[in-house]
Amino acid sequence: MTENNDNGSIAGWLYAFWGVAGFAWVLIDAIVRLAVLTIEGVSGGLTLGEWAGLVLFVLFMAYAEGYRGFQLSFAPRTAARALYLYKHPDLLSGLLAPLFCMGYFRGTRRPLLVAWVGTVLIVGMLLGLRAVPQPWRAIVDAGVVVGLSWGLVSFLWNVRRAFRDNAYPVSPEVPPG
């Protein structure tokens, strides 16, 4: 790890940009793919009960995934890790910057648990959703699209704030040394 670099370096800028762009791309790709599946799944029309389920699930996911999951926790930490990478560039973290920013490695216990356990839960949910018939699967996808979209906006807002203020919005939770 190099010394603290508050003014940035070319490597720091490149690594941070790669981390931010890579994570944003993961979210954008998921949003677009799920939006297409949502549109296809509801194109046959919905009953009143299905519309109610759609509205309730979208509201739930906006709160649970968008606000609680992303805005209050994951987005500020991911932005803080991007700023940390900018200030402390190192080759391995830079090459794997999106994974570093998401907390898959070089983190304290909390971001490591969130990244790895979260990934296992998401994969399990995706596998389980394969058995859910339409339009209910599309209803779930619609909620996820809203939560991920909220997360993307929240992440980009936190990145802007962190780099504008040159301060971590929360601890990047990187172990010392």
Predicted TM-score of the model (pTM):
0.91
Give the whole-angstrom CA distance, residue 83 versus residue 65. Answer: 23
pLDDT-derived band at 175 (thresholds 50, 70, 90) equals: very high
Per-residue pLDDT averaged across 9-37, rounded?
97
Taking the C-alpha atoms of residue 130 and residue 26, their distance in angstroms, rounded to an integer, is 21
- The string of pLDDT tens digits covering residues 161-172 is 999 999 999 999
pLDDT of res. 176? 86
Nearest Cα neighbor of 154 from 81, 71, 63, 67 is 71
Could you tell me the residue ranges of all domains in the chain? Answer: 10-165
pLDDT in tens, 24-81: 999 999 999 999 999 999 999 999 999 999 999 999 999 999 999 999 999 999 999 9
Predicted confidence at residue 7, as pLDDT, reads 59
How far CA 50 is from CA of 6, 55, 64, 135, 137, in Å, comes to 52, 9, 20, 8, 11
Q: Tell me, what's the pLDDT at 6?
A: 56
> d(Cα 19, Cα 86) in Å, to the nearest integer?
10
